[in-house]
Structure 1
Amino acid sequence: MTGAASEPLPIHSEEDVVRVRHAVRALAVAVRFSLVEQTKLVTAASELARNTLVHGGGGVARLERVEGGGRVGLRMTFEDQGPGIPDVGRALQDGFTTGSGLGLGLGGSKRLVGEFQIDSTPGVGTRVTATKWK
């Protein structure tokens, strides 16, 4: 599988969340995803960037065009050095939240992409990787 990751996009404010959304949209257009698929990617990116900001205390996003097995896609990686997620399985359940939201962010984001992985260590931080193939 090949890919070139973007420069890290900082996530330290709501404006950064918007910048991540725009960058994902631009890359999704470049990869030639349909409008519906672009919307799914931007929605997932928005939720994951917001989680990075709110729950992780800020961090970075990396975006990359990936190729493998004769197909092309977009991979988004969100990293923070926040408190981590003690129970990833529970965090993926709809309705579970540690904040004031609806608890649909992680599970909803997972449903919007093809591949989804969370690596989290309490007290160290979290990395969420989401890939959607065309």
Structure 2
Amino acid sequence: MPAYPQSESRGSRPLTRVRDWLDERGRPAWIAAMVLGFIAFWPVGLAILGYMIWSKRMIGCSSKRRYRASYHAAPTGNMAFDAYREETLKRLEDEHTEFMTFLQKLREAKDKAEFDQFMEQRDKEKLDD
């Protein structure tokens, strides 16, 4: 019997397997499951839709994992090319991570500037009253 993390209850394993199965097939499978859920019993379809939105499956997160995994699988047999491919993919992933960090810092700076502007405006309004 496979070992499962303690945080995962025995009852959630079938749901986890279903989720993984749908993730392997991508967004169309999730949409089909949602439509079938609405046809069978509308609260099930609504629950699937809520889960898809909450877990960001509508954005295509699972397809990104599958996209990345497809490049790391199946070596070509040419060791030089495989090494070059892995090095290039690692460099691109590092650049992507750096860029996402940069974007997050930009968002934080924008949020801070907007908040500071709000506080200044609020303080100015208090002085005017």
In which range does the TM-score fall when normalised by the shorter chain? under 0.3
Relative contact order, higher structure (CA 8 A, sep 6+): 1
Would you tell me which structure has more strand in proportion to its own residues? 1
Would you tell me which structure has more helix in proportion to its own residues? 2
Structure with larger Rg:
2
